[in-house]
Amino acid sequence: METYLDTIQPDLINVTRLFGLPDTVWEEPVRFRLTCGEEAGCFRCTWAESSVRAERFADIPFDADPRLRELHRRRAARRLCRQTLYDLCRQVTGIHPPWGSLTGIRPTRLLYEALEQGAPDVEAAAARVVRDFDVTIEKAALLAEAVSTQLTLPPPGDQWADVYVGIPFCPTRCAYCSFSSGELGDGKLVEPYLKALLWEMADAAGLLKATGRLPRAVYIGGGTPTSLSASQLERLLAAVNACFPGHLELTVEAGRPDTLDRDKLRVIREGGAGRISINPQSMNDRTLKVIGRAHTARQVEEAYALAREEGIHHINMDVIAGLPGEHPADFARTMEAALRLRPESLTVHTLAIKRSSRLHFENAPLPDAAEAAEMVRLGTQTAHALGQKAYYLYRQKQMAGNQENVGYALPGHACLYNVDIMEETTHIIAVGAGGISKRVYPEEGHIGRAPNVSNIAQYIERVGEMGERKWGLFGTGEERGKG
């Protein structure tokens, strides 16, 4: 069995991190001792620390194909090693991580797998996730809620492609941001950027046509698309509608309330966007200042009122649990505002400190696990009080308290694009700086990628090459001639 564990160290570190144990537990002499082997057709694994020990056995898988046999054995041995270490850490620390032993795997995927393997319904599939991965009952219920909603949406298929349109400009840069967005600055790059983007959109429309695919969900994100002027937004939306007619959904990120005015909201509504996102992240002015957002909580309230006056019927609200200096009482104030403003969908992120963010460079601490859990619980409670249900859910590395990000929505308001991008079941055609086009191969469990350059000036200069990359991923040069 040992030979199958040659490169498992990063996985083991992820397990000990679930329990808040420092990586130093893996420095020599290591704190945890592993013994493993094969006995009577089983793998045996024991992890021990002082007088505490955990032991598990697993059947050694058999496959007639020697290559697959090795692959399945390796997987089984590694899973057993991780699970047993997880058992030991639970005993040593007394902690029950909210998502049990799950690291680096999409929880919704496990539920779908359980359904494919014959679980009679979503609840039974969620119960399997509890049994096999020690996920808590509360998180399993959330998972079941999200998958139940997803099953009501138009199913994915090879005939569809989602379209992502990136506007990489923001008024200022948020402290937690890891996206490839540039500050708007003097705005000189906006016009040349739009020109390149409109060219790339027309080229992508040709690609869809040549490969016989239909536009499914269109998402204009960034960045902050409403950093553009009303007339620029109008041109952009006209081009989106001309290039991708018949789409099932159109979202415009209007993330920063300080970028909105009546004209832009009117243009967005007339441009056919059925959903916009106005994101406070926090409704505490002190926090907004700390995280580098140049607006106040009051401006958020004003932007919501203006959007309603302009006839916008679906507003999504993004908030973040665990922002620097915030405790559950601060997050509760943000949730009170959500109850007042009544967005049709609420997305509750848990702070994750990414390597390219300012918070990472400032060594900002994450809140403690119990506080993060309480804030996330308040988020769920608020969404339910608004009549919303979870519809997508994902986890990232380095999240406060090992929690998750969840999108909630009123019935009939789930964002198809958000589900598609997280479940990785639909092709994505991405245009704009930093966008990543994806071609999914569900049978093979493989995803092909064609990334665009992130640097705005480079993108403008090399937009033709970005088009070629997409054609290389989805089609052929011959088809390009026809498109």
First to last CA, the chain: 54
For residue 461, give the amino acid letter.
E
Using DSSP's 3-state secondary structure scheme, residue 415 falls into: coil
Nearer to ligand SF4, 149 or 454 (CB): 454
Residue among 15, 119, 170, 348 that touches ligand SF4 (CB under 6 A):
170
Distances from the Cα of 446 to the Cα of 181, 426, 476, angstroms: 28, 12, 20
d(CA 184, CA 190): 8
Nearer to ligand SF4, 135 or 236 (CB): 236
Distances from the Cα of 24 to the Cα of 19, 78, 124, 166, angstroms: 13, 22, 39, 41
Per DSSP, 155 falls in state P
Residue 152 token pair = 């009501």
- φ, ψ dihedrals at 394, nearest 5°: -150, 160
Q: Per rule CB under 6 A, is residue 364 in the interface with ligand SF4?
A: no
Q: Per rule CB under 6 A, is residue 179 in the interface with ligand SF4?
A: yes
Nearer to ligand SF4, 181 or 418 (CB): 181
Binding part of the chain for ligand SF4, among 93-101, 144-152, 168-176, 327-335 by CB under 6 A, reads: 168-176
Residue among 16, 103, 150, 181 that touches ligand SF4 (CB under 6 A):
181
d(CA 129, CA 43): 22
Distances from the Cα of 417 to the Cα of 77, 149, 252, 379, angstroms: 37, 14, 12, 22
Q: Per rule CB under 6 A, is residue 255 in the interface with ligand SF4?
A: yes
Residue among 174, 194, 220, 429 that touches ligand SF4 (CB under 6 A):
174
Task: Name the residue with tokens 């007619």.
Answer: 245
Nearer to ligand SF4, 181 or 405 (CB): 181
What burial class does residue 143 get, using C-beta atoms within 10 Å of its C-beta: 0-12 exposed, 13-18 middle, 19+ buried? buried
Per DSSP, 306 falls in state H
Residue among 146, 177, 196, 210 that touches ligand SF4 (CB under 6 A):
177
What order of strands is seen across the sheet that includes strand 52-59?
33-39, 42-49, 52-59
Q: Considering the complex, what minimum distance in angstroms separates the CB of residue 197 from ligand SF4? A: 16
> Greatest CA separation found in the chain?
74
Q: Considering the complex, what minimum distance in angstroms separates the CB of residue 173 from ligand SF4? A: 5
Q: Are strands 436-441 and 446-451 parallel, antiparallel or unpaired?
A: antiparallel
Q: Considering the complex, what minimum distance in angstroms separates the CB of residue 168 from ligand SF4? A: 8
Q: Per rule CB under 6 A, is residue 224 in the interface with ligand SF4?
A: yes
Binding part of the chain for ligand SF4, among 27-35, 63-71, 216-224, 305-313 by CB under 6 A, reads: 216-224
CA atoms within 13 A on the CB side of 311: 9
Q: Considering the complex, what minimum distance in angstroms separates the CB of residue 222 from ligand SF4? A: 6
Q: Considering the complex, what minimum distance in angstroms separates the CB of residue 277 from ligand SF4? A: 10
Q: Per rule CB under 6 A, is residue 222 in the interface with ligand SF4?
A: yes
Nearer to ligand SF4, 81 or 399 (CB): 399
Q: Considering the complex, what minimum distance in angstroms separates the CB of residue 339 from ligand SF4? A: 24
Q: Per rule CB under 6 A, is residue 173 in the interface with ligand SF4?
A: yes
Q: Per rule CB under 6 A, is residue 144 in the interface with ligand SF4?
A: no
Nearer to ligand SF4, 9 or 398 (CB): 398
Binding part of the chain for ligand SF4, among 80-88, 177-185, 330-338, 439-447 by CB under 6 A, reads: 177-185
Report the interface residues with ligand SF4, using CB under 6 A.
170, 173-174, 177, 179, 181, 222-224, 255-256
